[in-house]
Each structure stands twice: as structure tokens, then as C-alpha cells.
Amino acid sequence: MPGTTEYPVQLIQPDGARVHNPEYQALVADIGPDELWQLYEDLVVGRRIDSEAVALARQGQLGLWAPLQGQEAAQVGSAHALQPDDYVFTSYRETAVAYCRGVDPGALTAMWRGVAHSSWDPDEFNITNPAIVVGAQGLHATGYAYAAHLDGAEIATIAYFGDGATSQGDIAEAMTFASTWSAPVVFFCQNNHWAISEPVQLQSATPIAQRAVGHGLPACRVDGNDVLAVLAVTRRAAGRARGGGGPSFIEAITYRMGPHTTADDPTRYRTAAETEEWARRDPILRVRRLLEREGLFDSAAQRRVDERADEVAHRVRSATLAMPDPDPLELFDHVYATPHPFIDAQRRDYAEYLAADPAPLEEGVRS
């Protein structure tokens, strides 16, 4: 991927106009009207899932939620570039990726509601559950990719993380190992400009993609609000990995329009003018303008997209509210893959504690 670390790849301008780029246009030449509408639908549904989950968190139905508004194109475009056998290692914000991989929308909130250790079976969809430890998934993706390579599996893995995670040692170690051993992994950085309250300028004095170059990885910067450009560069990187070409790095330049999580107040550290500037680069509006420019937009299709988004949002809400509280002893399930005597002892101790008469404890709390 030479020559793309300085100038981000772009195929759709914010006003919906096409960008003449024969090299990357060839990678999405199969995206006709139907495929473009599917991308548009997934962008809209991804945002609708997110807004419903934010509302649930504000209403006290979720303990926390990590919003994705503004980053839909980075997630949908990259997810559409993957094959079913590819394996996805997420951070905590890739809700739209999970949706595109086929995860039931009704399962997306289980972990965030605090009723389960995870929200879905990773092996059913080849995508991990949200990873709260920043950057750890880079190591997991690299190890899985290298093992798959040793087994002769022609797959790619992809590790999603934010700009802040590039300052973590885990990501540096993962890139070094992947480069040295040609592990078929795609490092996908969603540079949304803010690691909680710290701007990206405090993460790196140079473009983040240059960090990957220093580790020996070919790197590419892409307009992360351009779904076609993201699809193109991810297809190239994933194809390179599957074909034995080794790892690569993508920096998708996007913006987190909402808070870092629902426990955050972004107005304390960034200006309204900044968010307004990025709102003009909205990834969903960009595709709609493209459809309008090319005579592909029609109101009936828009209604179908909106109806699908409402249907999915209803599924998210109804499933969340119906989730039963877990049995307290389930806390000890799945801690280890095989039985472990220390966990068994803890389970017995906790069961005895729960069975004890709680009256003295309650009296102590009241006093």
C-alpha cells in the first residue's frame, strides 16, 4: 500500500460526488445500486441500534454503553470486506460490525446490562465480544492469525481499536510479532480523534499510520466516513492477509460524535464548532447524497430502510428489558475452560454466604 500514509483514500466526497481514483475504484467495482443500498441500510440501522442503546442507558436499563455515532462507515465498510471464515477481534465500540456479522440485535446489550459475561457466542459469528482492556485484542488477533497460518487456513483476522490504543504496549507488541512472523492480521485503527478526553495529537506527533510503518507494516490512511473507500482498503488488506502477504495497518480517520461512553460528558473537553465541522462529513448523509446524485434514491426504498431500523431498534429494546437477572452463582461459570479447584472453592464459599441468614447484615447496613 505505498504512498497512502499521507493522503487518505477517498471515493465519495461529503457532498456525494465521486472521487476519481482508478486504483481503489477497481476494488469496489462490484458495488452496484443494490449493494450501495445495502451499505446505506446497514449504516442507518447501525446508528439506530446505537441511539436506542444510548436511550436505554440514560433510562437506567444499561449500566454503560459506548456509542458509535459518526463511525458507522468505518465499521460497516470494513465489515462488508470480510469473509465468513475471517475472525474479528473488537474493542468495545464495534456494534455495527457485530450487526453486519449476523449477531442478533437482541443480544447486543446483555453484557452492558450486566446480566452475562458476554453477549453472544464468538465462534458462531467469528467475532469476539466487546473487549474492555484497551489494546489487548491486538495480541489476541495476532495470535489467532498466526495459529491459523500454521494450520494452513487461508483466512484473515482483523483487530479493531481506537487512536488511544496505539499508545498501549499491547498494540506495539502485536504489530512487531505480526510483522516478524507474517501473521495474516489487519490492524484497523478507528482514529476518532479523542481517547476519552485526550485529543489524538497527544497520542502521536505524526499520522498514526506512520507508527505501523516503523514496525514494518504497510500502512494506509482512509477517509473513515467514506464507506466505499473503507470497503476498498479493507478488501485489499484482508486479501493480502489471506494470500500469505502478511499483516497490514489501516487508519480510518473518523470522528466520535457522541460521548466516549454514557458516563462521559464531551462538552467538557471539546468545542461545539469542532463537532459541527464533523457533522458536515456525516457518513450516512454522504451515501444518501451519492444515491441522489446518481438518480438511485427513491422514497419507497428510504421507507423500507427506516422500517428496518425501527424493527431492529424494537428488537434491541424489547430483548433488553426482557433479559432475566442471572443466578448469582453463574458468576463463576466460564472463568476457565476446564474445571479449576480454586474457582470451585470460591463457588462453594459464595453459595454458603448466600444461604446464610442475611438479617444481621441488613441490621448492620441500617445502623
By annotation, the residues acting in catalysis are 256, 260, 269
Enter the C-alpha cell of residue 54: 444510548
Q: Are 232 and 4 in contact (CB under 8 A)?
A: no
Distance of CA 334 to CAs 108, 111, 330, Å? 19, 14, 9
- Specify the pairing of strand 157-162 against strand 87-89: parallel
- In whole angstroms, what is the distance from residue 327 CA to residue 347 CA? 12
Distance CA 43, CA 39 (A): 6
Ramachandran assignment for 98, one of left (phi > 0), alpha (psi -120 to 50 degrees), beta (any other): alpha
Helix (H) / strand (E) element for 24: namely: helix 22-25
Torsion of CA 96, 97, 100, 103, to 10 degrees: -90
Q: Are strands 157-162 and 198-199 parallel, antiparallel or unpaired?
A: unpaired
* Three-class secondary structure of residue 68 per DSSP: coil
**H/E segment holding residue 160:** strand 157-162
**How many Cβ atoms sit within 10 Å of the Cβ of residue 330?**
13
Provide φ and ψ at 352, rounded to 5°.
Answer: -65, -40
* Residue in 137, 151, 123 with CA at minimum distance from that of residue 186: 137
Closest CA to 221 of 248, 253, 193, 194: 253
